[in-house]
Structure 1
Amino acid sequence: MNGYRRRHGLLAGALVIGLTASACANGDDSAQSGKVADTSGKAPTGVTLTLWHNTADPTALLDLYKAYEKKSGNTIDLVDIPADSFPSTVQTKWATGARPDILEWHGNQVDVLSLNAAKNMIDLSALPFVKKEGTLADVSGNVGGKVYAATVGSLSVDGIFYNKQVFTKAGLQPPQTYAELAADCKTLKARTPGVTPIFEAGGSQWPPQILSAFDYLAESNTDQAYDRSILDGKAQLNDPNGPFVAGLKAYDSLRKAGCFNSDANTAKWEDSFKAVLSGKAAMVANNSDSIGLLNSDANNDTAKVDAAVGFVGLSATKAVTNYAPSPLGTYYVPSTGDSKKERAAVDFIDYITGAGYADYIKEAKIIPTLSGTATPQLQGLLQDVKTAYDKGATLSVNSPLPGFSSFGAEAQKLLAGQETPQQVADKMQTYYTQAAAAAKQ
């Protein structure tokens, strides 16, 4: 095995809220803009490539990095980005001008714009994986019709994780609408005292976004209808009668009804899944990326996890899930000016989407994102996710809307009762307007 190692130390730095495309274009990016992936000649060997990666990467991805090292003769130097503060840590370092050779990052357009991919990333559009991604390539890492990212990880699907035993004891079925969610909270409080109906993790900032907006709005965004209405200026996020405000109000009602854990403002993402797995909490709203964390909490006893936890999709009035390209397994090649390393990084993309892909999918036991690869037998909980997705799924509303990098902080304030739903919506409309204007500069 080549020198496979991790390098720690990217934990420091203040949280960066609302970085826009223009704010992130630090340094002389113009000299690096417009680069297209170089696939000419034989890829170099003996090169050390730094990879900023999410610490929530499952074992299968870590093994994929090792497999590339063995095949290529190159070394992957993993730089750990903590899952708990992943977006803010990456954005903070990026804003200083620091660049890895390979970046694991979100595929949502808003996140791609936040790092100014058109100037700072290498265009991968001509690589073979793009055709295999199909319509996913139109969404993940795509700006202006150019594909800057390869997505090999599963789609990140939002919904409700629930403890099966708690629901059975309470005589309930898992909710599929917000009205059912509120009713279940009331019943759980009466029939299972001591069990938190819904665990919320405001201490990690990003989790409250899911239940306060993304889940609620799923049914409104069929064929990206709601996104288009905002982008076209036909609707505004802060419309008092609009679905965004309605979702925030529904979330605030759950808070006022005492549905959340007493430490909701400070609890962490990791805490939420331990609580649901153990039955200390009945539900948590989060995404399918968290299944790896659940498995880890159960010492990788997937049978134990499947026996204890289920998953359903929900939205305002229908059982509709929402999804986004997962940051776990979505990779970019930053333009660094080092042509040798850039060529090797492109070779990494070729490998993980080509020769190494089938073995990765087989080990990961996930739904393939690239055509031509068979779906392996799935863990029961992941099968629940697939079932929910197949019943109806829409793209998460934050995927193409600039300014949503600020929503985590605003959702946290809503959870803490520091802002009203309308105040949050008013701020988000302002952030959107400012970021949209900056992105056009």
Structure 2
Amino acid sequence: MPRSARRTSLFATALAITVTTVTACAGGDTATQSGKAAATEGPAPKGVTLTLWHNTADSPALLNLYKAYEKKSGNTIKLVDIPADSFPSTVQTKWATGARPDILEWHGNQTDALSLNVAANMLDLSKLSFVRKEADLAKVSGSVGGKTYAATIGALSVSGIFYNKQVFAQAGLEPPENYDDLAADCKTLKAKAPDVAPLFEAGGSQWPPQILSAFNYLAESNDNQAYDASILDGKAKLSDADGPFVAALTAYDKLRRAGCFNSDRTTAKWEDQMKAVLEGKAAMVAQNSDSIGLLNADANGDTAEVDASVGFVGVSATKPVATYAPSPLGTYYVPSTGDSQKERAAVDFIEFATGAGYADYIKEAKIIPTLSGATTPELQGLLQDVKKAYDQGATLSFNSEIPGFGNFGPESSKLLAAQESPQQVAEKMQAYYRQAAAAAKQ
């Protein structure tokens, strides 16, 4: 299978070479200093309290990394929990009020970076040593205008299909490879396992329906960012009736009309869908690899139980292709708050997380490193499935470089609820894209 040159280069550096892959209102006014470089000279201050807006899905290893930094530095990290099931909307709402943390855990893809105007609001981290160790990943994650504004230490977020092995075995099914397989498996499961939801959706959290309604389907179309380029160059529109985006939404809507989803699809949450596939109440869930931590937690830390129960494969329109993006879990920005002491301490945290504290974090997290120089630990079986799907030719998630896709969560949820048609959703997303692209040029 052909592999994206850019993806291959990233993985060779960030994964395959075994050393890869809020508030209570902290920190000051909205920054106006575009591209302000992070200060690294002189000793970092001690006794500083840093507010960190963090995703509640952070792994124990990340939480322990924060504690390790406190012990090493003499500074305090005040965690402000951002609920995982509403993470994007909650951060953006808080951000819009002018509230700022000292450290922000946030998505690395360009769409979400632009949504917070990182060039004006974050410190430029391009000269920090981790950028060299991230290699091509630094050009993708937290990167705008050729500058790197984020450090990514969490594993890459790979999206595909989680499936319950026992349910599939009992129904005599093999894991799906494409959307025709999903439809056929749905039909078989409805006949042979009527008490099991063939596909479990979580419209109550808004963002999960994006994965099956578009991201997975379009993986094969975005090899070497081809589909992204066609949209950005104006050669294609998201609203093209015969285009890949409308085809993705249409395929998703057919699954809905065929009764493939759970009865509470519009109200169920992300946590519900992962628990359902683990317990065999759902045969399949379209999600990303960040969710493995939740599966492990649902199994009370028994990773052997998770590995025995759940598998992972990549799927796209016609081929077994996964899609990936920098994960928000373990991707950190330093907002420009105007408080030079806190900014310097926040940069010190970045240097620790990507330096002295990194090896211990990777060892505890048992994930594929994103920085060179670290040894890949023994991986959980389900994560080995994810790595295999990535190795087979995963492509960068098509929304990563298209502005305006912060609105897709609510729109895909409307499609799930039959409140809008595929074409209506596509028309709206094209309008959002044009608005965001125009604003980015101002």
C-alpha displacement of 1:35: 1.0
Map of 1:129 onto structure 2: 130
Q: Deviations over 1:47-76 (max 9, x none)?
A: 110000000000000000001011111100
* Alpha-carbon distance in 1 for matches of 2:242, 2:387: 33
TM-score by length of 2: 0.93
C-alpha displacement of 1:34: 2.5
> Letter of the aligned partner of 2:61 in structure 1?
A
C-alpha displacement of 1:343: 0.4
Map of 2:67 onto structure 1: 66
* Alpha-carbon distance in 2 for matches of 1:408, 1:144: 26
Map of 2:12 onto structure 1: none
* Alpha-carbon distance in 2 for matches of 1:34, 1:305: 44
* Alpha-carbon distance in 2 for matches of 1:34, 1:40: 18
Q: Deviations over 1:208-233 (max 9, x none)?
A: 00000000000000000000100000
C-alpha displacement of 1:8: 7.6
Q: Deviations over 1:308-352 (max 9, x none)?
A: 000000000111100000000000000000000000000000000
CA contact (8 A) 1:109 1:143 kept: yes
Map of 2:376 onto structure 1: 375
Q: What are structure 1's unaligned runs of at least 5 residues?
A: 1-6, 11-25
Map of 2:226 onto structure 1: 225
C-alpha displacement of 1:27: 6.3
SS in 1 for 2:247: helix
Map of 2:17 onto structure 1: none
Matching of residue 49 in structure 1 with residue 45 in structure 2? no
C-alpha displacement of 1:9: 6.6
CA contact (8 A) 2:199 2:284 kept: yes
Q: Deviations over 1:25-48 (max 9, x none)?
A: x96632x33210111011111111
* Alpha-carbon distance in 1 for matches of 2:390, 2:167: 24
Aligned pairs for 1:251-400 (under 5 A) are: 251-400=252-401
CA contact (8 A) 1:207 1:269 kept: yes
CA contact (8 A) 2:336 2:343 kept: yes
> Letter of the aligned partner of 2:101 in structure 1?
P
C-alpha displacement of 1:112: 0.5
* Alpha-carbon distance in 1 for matches of 2:320, 2:372: 27
- Structural RMSD (CA): 1.2
CA contact (8 A) 2:157 2:324 kept: yes
Residues 28 and 179 of structure 1, relative CA distance in 2, 3 Å threshold: closer
Q: Deviations over 1:63-121 (max 9, x none)?
A: 00001011111100001111011111111111111000000000010100111101100
Aligned pairs for 1:392-431 (under 5 A) are: 392-431=393-432
Map of 1:29 onto structure 2: 31
* Alpha-carbon distance in 1 for matches of 2:209, 2:260: 13
CA contact (8 A) 1:413 1:419 kept: yes
SS in 1 for 2:425: helix
Q: What are structure 2's unaligned runs of at least 5 residues?
A: 1-21
* Alpha-carbon distance in 2 for matches of 1:193, 1:28: 54
CA contact (8 A) 2:23 2:53 kept: no
SS in 2 for 1:57: coil
CA contact (8 A) 2:239 2:426 kept: yes
Percent identity over the alignment is 78
* Alpha-carbon distance in 2 for matches of 1:27, 1:305: 45
Q: Deviations over 1:364-418 (max 9, x none)?
A: 0000000121111000000100011001110001101011001011100100011
Map of 2:3 onto structure 1: none
> Letter of the aligned partner of 2:391 in structure 1?
D
Map of 2:6 onto structure 1: none
SS in 1 for 2:433: helix
Map of 2:192 onto structure 1: 191
Matching of residue 432 in structure 1 with residue 433 in structure 2? yes
Matching of residue 78 in structure 1 with residue 79 in structure 2? yes
> Letter of the aligned partner of 2:129 in structure 1?
P
* Alpha-carbon distance in 2 for matches of 1:197, 1:381: 20
* Alpha-carbon distance in 2 for matches of 1:99, 1:192: 49
Map of 1:15 onto structure 2: none
Residues 172 and 123 of structure 1, relative CA distance in 2, 3 Å threshold: same
Matching of residue 213 in structure 1 with residue 183 in structure 2? no
Map of 1:16 onto structure 2: none
CA contact (8 A) 1:9 1:80 kept: no
